[in-house]
């Protein structure tokens, strides 16, 4: 019984990795080759020799590279049979021409590249899309903000580069200290889009586990040590850590090479940069992160963001920040409902970089 369970578990793992048997698919595709050949010879007007690309394309999605070569051998034999049965390619409209051979060969080349990619990744074609969807949903769930008590409003928007589903920017948040404290970490991983998505997924899970498990001043040093242990070629990241007392509105900001936060003071209507000191994560060991303190009064707003919203070629960051705050002023009277999404649309709609924006408002 124990051996049976091991064999069953192994077969399941092999299937997920794409190492399971593909004999049934190979047999079915091999049967379509003589069927297409017979149709081409019997009714060349309705069935063209180019139809052999159909099992070849399907084989690229279903078969391993070794099995795919067997299918290609069958397709090559079918082309030879068709050329003999139909005669010289100059005698009629439905013949095996050099162009036909080139089209079938080109499709075979692309199919082999697809099969080799699947074999290298280790994911069968039927599960590849499901796995990517699951990874995207995990990032979305991990970036969800906890519900805040009455008197607080939050907005968060995340836009990957190039309209992709994966981003190098992410947020992790938790309510700690019996729910009286909100801790939020906004991180920008080096790279963008799909290139940074896998690292962002790994870091968001690790940072989510660290957040709340350590004292607030111990989070960034622990995160820095975690990145150093990964030994990635592009192993650095910027991060900003907010520790907010939901009763008093007092907060601390700790930064690891991240852009400053912006606070809107309701009394004066002015935006203030809250810049904490600290090096990038993953650069060197024993890094120190010095906090900056502030307080949110009724009507105040705190804005955290990544560089995709304010950086642009040929423009200083200060200009990008001025543009961001200028657009944000338009939403003050409306209470910032839906402001995060609209701000990204207004200041960085077509920017080829990941963009993340978090707004916290203490309602008057």
- Please state, in angstroms and rounded to a whole number, the distance separating the CA atoms of residues 43 and 50: 14
pLDDT digits (tens, 9 = 90+) for 223-241: 999 998 888 777 789 999 9
Cβ–Cβ < 8 Å for 289, 354? no
CA dist 331 → 114, 223, 264, 328, 344 (Å): 49, 35, 12, 6, 13
Structure token digits, residue 183: 């801790």
Number of H helices, E strands in the chain: 10, 10
Tokens 């049976």 label which residue?
Answer: 4
What DSSP character marks residue 348?
A: S
The predicted model gives 154-167 an average pLDDT of 79
Whether the predicted model's global pTM rises above the 0.95 cut: no
Domains and CATH numbers, the chain: 11-123 (no CATH), 143-362 (3.60.40.10)
CA dist 218 → 22, 201, 288 (Å): 51, 22, 10
Helix axes 65-86, 53-62, angle to 10 degrees: 170
pLDDT digits (tens, 9 = 90+) for 58-104: 888 888 888 888 899 998 998 888 888 877 654 555 677 788 888 88
Any residues with CB less than 8 A from the CB of 153 and at least 6 apart, and which? 335, 336, 337, 359, 360, 361, 363
How many Å from the N-terminal Cα to the C-terminal Cα in the chain? 66
For the chain, the average pLDDT equals 82
- Please state, in angstroms and rounded to a whole number, the distance separating the CA atoms of residues 283 and 306: 19
């Amino acid at each position: 019984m124990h051996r049976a369970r091991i064999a069953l578990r192994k077969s399941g793992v092999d299937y997920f990795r794409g190492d399971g048997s593909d004999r049934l698919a190979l047999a079915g595709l091999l049967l379509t080759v003589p069927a297409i050949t017979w149709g081409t010879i019997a009714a060349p007007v309705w069935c063209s020799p180019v139809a052999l690309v159909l099992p070849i394309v399907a084989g690229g999605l279903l078969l391993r590279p070794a099995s795919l070569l067997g299918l290609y051998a069958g397709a090559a034999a079918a082309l030879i049979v068709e050329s003999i049965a139909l005669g010289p390619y100059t005698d009629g409209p439905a013949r095996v021409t050099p162009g036909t051979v080139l089209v079938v060969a080109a499709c075979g080349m692309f199919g082999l590249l697809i099969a080799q990619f699947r074999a290298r990744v280790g994911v069968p074609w039927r599960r590849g899309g499901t796995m990517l969807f699951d990874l995207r949903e995990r990032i979305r769930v991990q970036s969800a903000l906890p519900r805040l008590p009455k008197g607080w409003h939050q907005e968060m928007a995340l836009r990957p580069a190039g309209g992709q589903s994966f981003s190098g920017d992410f947020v992790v948040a938790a309510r700690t200290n019996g729910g009286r404290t909100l801790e939020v970490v906004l991180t920008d991983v080096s790279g963008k889009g799909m290139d940074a998505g896998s690292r962002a997924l790994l870091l968001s899970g690790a940072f989510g586990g660290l957040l709340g498990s350590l004292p607030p001043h111990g989070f960034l040093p622990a995160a820095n040590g975690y990145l150093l242990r990964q030994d990635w070629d592009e192993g650095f990241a910027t991060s900003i850590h907010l520790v907010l007392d939901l009763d008093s509105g007092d907060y601390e900001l700790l930064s690891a090479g991240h852009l400053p936060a912006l606070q809107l003071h309701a009394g004066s209507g002015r935006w203030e940069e809250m810049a904490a000191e600290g090096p990038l994560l993953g650069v060197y060991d024993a890094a120190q992160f010095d906090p900056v303190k502030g307080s949110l009064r009724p009507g105040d707003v705190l804005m955290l963001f990544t560089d995709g919203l304010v950086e642009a070629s040929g423009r200083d960051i200060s200009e990008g920040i001025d543009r961001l705050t200028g657009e944000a002023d338009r939403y003050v009277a409306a209470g910032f409902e839906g402001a995060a999404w609209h701000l990204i649309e207004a200041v960085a709609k077509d920017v080829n970089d990941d963009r993340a924006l978090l707004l916290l408002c203490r309602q008057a």
